[in-house]
A and B are shown apart, each in its own frame.
Chain A
Amino acid sequence: MVEDISTLITGLGLPSGEAFLALVVVVLAIIGLIAVISAIRPVLSMYPYTYPLARVRARKGRLFTDKQYTELLESQTTEEVKNYLRGLPEYAKYIDEYPLEKALDSQLAETYDLIARIAPDNTKDPFIFLMKKWDIRNIKSIIIAKEAGLSEEETMNLVVPFGELSDKLNTLIDADSVDEILNNLEGTDYAPILEDSIPVYKETGILLPVEASLDKYLLENLLRTAATPEDDNTAYLHEYVGNLVDITNIKMILRAKADGLKYDDIEPYMVSDGYQIREWKLKDLMESEDVSGVVNGLEGTDYAPMLTESLTDYTETGSIQAFEKALDEHVSEVAQRISQKNQFGIGPMIGYLNKKENEIKNLKIIIRGKREQDLSASVIKEMLV
């Protein structure tokens, strides 16, 4: 055997056993390195998601079940709804502190905040940027409240204590005029946007330019933060954000066409680019004569089949609600598909965020149904997402 080894060593042109040993070590090290790198690479991409995914799945397990919705629908008054939510730890802390709808929005904002904090670095930016949604909502609420002459306390009930401006909310609410609000926002991203749109608002008395310019800023920049997919996770996030932007654009165009508005009326409020619906296509859609023209113009995109199906409803009722519902369902389907396809990455986070949005929407539908319209449980149930 020793002779065989010696023959092998000599055959390999090696001068001694030590040289052979060194060769064995090097070969093993190379094989080991290749095995380790090829095995570890996919695992490392999952690693940053293990902690956030466990947290998200824990919260997913606490989302409302059908049984809970049924119990809630049996409530006779909003006070009963409140008591029910008081029994759920996630809602309890807000229910006692704020009015019902503000409590629900605060819970949703807290969820966004959590996702932004725990998301891995390469997918963090879009979620952090999404927190601006609450700033924008708060600015809109404060301006509307100011114009409607609401008291500070009433205005406070409309704002959600989350977002970059959460520390500034009291100052903004204390402002005496829209101009003072604008002054208080100096140094933030929102000041230049409002500087352009507030004069239009003052001139026309219509708040739409202010709201639309803020929404446009949010969506355009949101798409930009997710615009350079580096891996599967960022690509899926881009797809989800892209669908959100496209659907917001489509809804706005459909609403405008249903109201008989022309290209020039809506062009300033549109997000300039989209995901499937790029700039040139948006212009085409905006130039459509009517709602059916918009639906036909979307031929070839993912949105066409669901909108074509809803066209009959629109023709019968004249309401674009069917389109909006179909588009919202499409976003949910995209989120759930991503959640299933990308189980060890960003997928479950997107899926959960969408389900949480739907839960809050449903709770608001139930509350409004009970409070304003005194609708029966079965009617409200049909309205749920």
Chain B
Amino acid sequence: MVEVALGTALAAIGAGVAIGFAGLGSGIGQGIAAAGSVGAVAEDEDMFARGIIFTALPETQAIYGFLIAILLMVFTIMVPGKEVSAALGLVAIGAGAAIGFAGLGSGMGQGIAASSSVGSVVEDPDMFARGIIFTALPETQAIYGFLIAILLMVFGGLLGG
């Protein structure tokens, strides 16, 4: 059986939380946006491209979570022979939780806004630009989470340490 150091295991949890929760929020959000877009396309085939754009927006939270998870792994688990302290492991959990939970809320919120915007655009095509702006707003929470995760990793000694 392979021996896993405590710090490494904690970093692994951090990476899992980062992509797991962010991906969950993004998936739910994207599902909501996609369901709305399918409804819009069923009524108006010209909505396909615009539906895809709105459906793609809640993807970003999963990308942030994925990036943080990859960074956590690259600087801890994937470095051969590197000993990760328990403290660093806890920093990794903090970073993962920051983007994970922020991405969860942001993704779901963005999905609802995207679905509603698709409905507005199919009702009135002039709503497209305004729909994009409203849908982009819930992105900010994911950006905050992403920034805090990066700062935790930089100043917690995981990046560049």
Seen from chain A, the residues whose Cβ lies within 8 Å of a Cβ on chain B are 1-2, 5, 17-18, 20-21, 24-25, 28, 32, 35-36, 39-40, 43, 46-47, 50-55, 57-61, 118, 343-344, 348
B104: chain A residues at CB < 8 Å are 35-36, 39
Which partner residue on chain A sits nearest B101 by CB separation? A35
A58, B39: Cβ atoms closer than 8 Å:
yes
B31: chain A residues at CB < 8 Å are 47
A57, B123: Cβ atoms closer than 8 Å:
yes
* Closest CB in chain B relative to A118 CB, distance in Å: 8
Within 8 A of A (CB), among B29-80: 31-33, 35-40, 42-44, 47
A1: chain B residues at CB < 8 Å are 85-87
Report Cα–Cα, A271/B120, bound state, in Å. Answer: 39
* Closest CB in chain B relative to A381 CB, distance in Å: 24
B120: chain A residues at CB < 8 Å are 57
Within 8 A of A (CB), among B80-130: 85-87, 93, 97, 101, 104-105, 108, 111-112, 115-116, 118-120, 122-124
In the complex, whether B10 has a CB less than 8 A from a CB of chain A is yes
Q: Can you add 6 more A-B contacts, CB < 8 Å, to A1-B86, A18-B6, A36-B104?
A: A21-B9, A47-B31, A53-B39, A54-B38, A54-B43, A348-B119
Report Cα–Cα, A344/B21, bound state, in Å. Answer: 24
B17, A51: Cβ atoms closer than 8 Å:
no
A55: chain B residues at CB < 8 Å are 39-40, 42-43
In the complex with contacts A24-B13, A25-B13, A28-B93, A2-B86 CB distance below 8 A = yes
A50, B36: Cβ atoms closer than 8 Å:
yes
B123, A58: Cβ atoms closer than 8 Å:
yes
Report Cα–Cα, A32/B17, bound state, in Å. Answer: 9
A21: chain B residues at CB < 8 Å are 6, 9-10
* Closest CB in chain A relative to B21 CB, distance in Å: 7
B105: chain A residues at CB < 8 Å are 39
Report Cα–Cα, A57/B42, bound state, in Å. Answer: 12
Report Cα–Cα, A348/B40, bound state, in Å. Answer: 14
B13, B24, B35, B85: which contacts A50 (Cβ < 8 A)?
Answer: B35
In the complex with contacts A28-B13, A39-B104, A50-B36, A57-B119 CB distance below 8 A = yes
In the complex, whether B28 has a CB less than 8 A from a CB of chain A is yes
In the complex with contacts A32-B17, A51-B39, A5-B108 CB distance below 8 A = no
B118: chain A residues at CB < 8 Å are 54
B85, B86, B115: which contacts A54 (Cβ < 8 A)?
Answer: B115
B93: chain A residues at CB < 8 Å are 24, 28
Report Cα–Cα, A290/B17, bound state, in Å. Answer: 72
* Closest CB in chain B relative to A107 CB, distance in Å: 15
* Closest CB in chain A relative to B149 CB, distance in Å: 15
Report Cα–Cα, A28/B17, bound state, in Å. Answer: 9
B87, A51: Cβ atoms closer than 8 Å:
no
Q: What are 10 A-B interface contacts by the 8 Å CB criterion?
A: A25-B13, A32-B17, A39-B105, A43-B112, A46-B112, A50-B36, A54-B38, A54-B115, A59-B43, A61-B122
B32, A43: Cβ atoms closer than 8 Å:
yes
* Closest CB in chain A relative to B7 CB, distance in Å: 9
A51, B123: Cβ atoms closer than 8 Å:
no
B32: chain A residues at CB < 8 Å are 43, 46-47, 50
In the complex with contacts A24-B10, A32-B21, A58-B43, A51-B36 CB distance below 8 A = yes
In the complex with contacts A28-B17, A50-B115, A58-B40 CB distance below 8 A = yes
Which partner residue on chain A sits nearest B51 by CB separation? A54
Which partner residue on chain B sits nearest A17 by CB separation? B6
In the complex with contacts A50-B35, A50-B39, A5-B10 CB distance below 8 A = no
* Closest CB in chain B relative to A349 CB, distance in Å: 12
B119: chain A residues at CB < 8 Å are 53-54, 57-58, 348
Which partner residue on chain B sits nearest A32 by CB separation? B21
Report Cα–Cα, A25/B10, bound state, in Å. Answer: 9
Report Cα–Cα, A5/B6, bound state, in Å. Answer: 11
Report Cα–Cα, A36/B111, bound state, in Å. Answer: 15
A5: chain B residues at CB < 8 Å are 86-87
A32: chain B residues at CB < 8 Å are 17, 21
A47, B35: Cβ atoms closer than 8 Å:
yes
B35: chain A residues at CB < 8 Å are 47, 50-51, 54
* Closest CB in chain B relative to A40 CB, distance in Å: 7
* Closest CB in chain B relative to A336 CB, distance in Å: 15
* Closest CB in chain B relative to A66 CB, distance in Å: 15
Report Cα–Cα, A28/B104, bound state, in Å. Answer: 15
Which partner residue on chain B sits nearest A60 by CB separation? B123
Within 8 A of A (CB), among B119-150: 119-120, 122-124
- List the 4 closest pairs (A to B, CB-CB), nearest first: A54-B39, A58-B43, A61-B123, A57-B119
A39, B108: Cβ atoms closer than 8 Å:
yes
Question: Chain A CB within 10 Å — which of B86, B115, B118 has the most?
Answer: B86
A28, A47, A54: which contacts B40 (Cβ < 8 A)?
Answer: A54
